[in-house]
Amino acid sequence: MKVFISGNIAPIGLKQLEEHHIEITQWKEGRQITADELIQACQDQDGLISVGPNKLDADFLNACKHLKVIALHSVGFDQVDIKEAKKLNIAIGNTPGVLSGATADTAFLLMLSVSRKAFYLHKKILKGEWKNYEPTPELGIELNGKTLGIFGMGKIGLEMAKKCIGAYQMPVIYHNRSQNHEAEKAIGAKYVSFEELLAQSDVLSIHTALTDETKDKFNLDVFKQMKPEAIFINTARGGIHNEKDLIEALEEGFIWGAGLDVTNPEPMQADNVLLNMENVAVLPHIGSATVETRNAMAEIIVKNIVAGLNGEELPHQVG
Ligand code: 8YV
């Protein structure tokens, strides 16, 4: 059986694929493969391990309908036309569960960095602007006892909430399509309406999937309903916030700061105004990028691929 890998995965995954006698072809050009190149590369393959943001839309799927299985190197599957894949009998697998801790760590890192203007102050040192000691220059704000709002209380949201409770005793409110009783029982999180979430959160952290419903959900109108002291954190998908509106909300003081691990588009260009704002921290989509998590993701990917090639239900099948 033949599998194409459209980027890098942890070596343990490659080793396990070989142990299953799967013939691997891997994209190693050091840039994201284009849509046409991906179609071309998949022509004589039985499976695809899809790394990165390539759209696996109806055009791609129909051009590669001989594929038995696509294993995503992500928990998110907004890049795939799931309905079309189902119609064509191509099994789609993702990597849930194993990346919740690392992604929540990234959200926590951004929250703390924004609250103390860490990225901005680091850049000042690099520019030679640390001249002398000043007791009241760009002051941060403290997180202790502040209210954490979670938009999308799933596995990752719950991990973020636990970290914030442990570190700063933050009361947790959340908004979901449906109530998460497990989170309510585990950490006493309180379900609130979307409007209440906006009005009451001191830190508002996004942990939902990108869907038609959540696309551009955080726009100027929404930012205006948040506290002027609020910190907005997005480690989910860049499409969930409107970047132009976020910039305006920060410039006009509708919110206090923002921490982003995801942007729209990705990669973010170096001249983006957000990168020079005092109360902003941006990371290049490293949410789950730890040795431990990448290894665990690679192992799930192999299980998904092997099951799909054998015509079995995937351990983590989407749709
Ligand atoms: C991936 C992610 O690293 O799981 C997700 O949805 O965003 C990240 O963990 C990214 O998709 C690259 O494959």
Q: Answer yes or no: CATH 3.40.50.1970 is held by domain 2-98+290-309.
A: no
Residue nearest atom 11 of ligand 1, based on CA coordinates: 74
> Where on the phi/psi map is residue 53: left (φ > 0), alpha (ψ -120 to 50), or beta?
alpha
Instruction: Tell me the C-alpha distance between 52 and 207, whole Å.
Output: 19
Question: Residue with structure tokens 């109108």?
Answer: 221
Does the pLDDT value for residue 137 go beyond 90?
no
Percent of the chain whose predicted confidence (pLDDT) is above 70: 100
Does the pLDDT value for residue 135 go beyond 90?
no
Mutate to test the pocket of ligand 1, among 156, 288, 297 (most ligand atoms within 8 A of CB): 288
**Among the atoms of ligand 1, which is closest to the Cα of residue 286?**
3
- For the chain, first and last CA: distance in Å? 24
Please give the helix or strand (H or E) that residue 26 lies within, else none: strand 23-26
**Among the atoms of ligand 1, which is closest to the Cα of residue 288?**
9
Instruction: Say if ligand 1 is within 6 A of residue 75 CB.
Output: yes
Q: What is the pLDDT of residues 12-60, one digit of tens each?
A: 999 999 999 999 999 999 999 999 999 999 999 999 999 999 999 999 9
Domain ranges, ordered by start, for the chain = 2-98+290-309, 100-282
As a whole number, mean pLDDT of residues 165-185 equals 97
- β-bridge partners, 218: 241
Residue nearest atom 10 of ligand 1, based on CA coordinates: 74
Q: What is the pLDDT of residues 277-304, one digit of tens each?
A: 999 999 999 999 999 999 999 999 999 9
Does the pLDDT value for residue 319 go beyond 90?
no
pTM of the shown model: 0.96
| Number of C-beta neighbours around residue 199 at 10 A | 14
Instruction: Tell me the C-alpha distance between 27 and 45, whole Å.
Output: 13
Fold of 100-282: Rossmann fold (3.40.50)
Q: What SS3 string covers 175-230?
A: ECCCCCHHHHHHHCCEECCHHHHHHHCCEEEECCCCCCCCCCCECHHHHHCCCCCC
Instruction: Tell me the C-alpha distance between 233 and 236, whole Å.
Output: 9
- Secondary structure (DSSP) of 91-150: EEE---STTHHHHHHHHHHHHHHHHTTHHHHHHHHHTT---S--SSSS-----TTPPEEE
Q: For residue 81, what is the DSSP state?
A: -
8 Å CB contact between 287 and 261: yes
Instruction: Say if ligand 1 is within 6 A of residue 204 CB.
Output: no
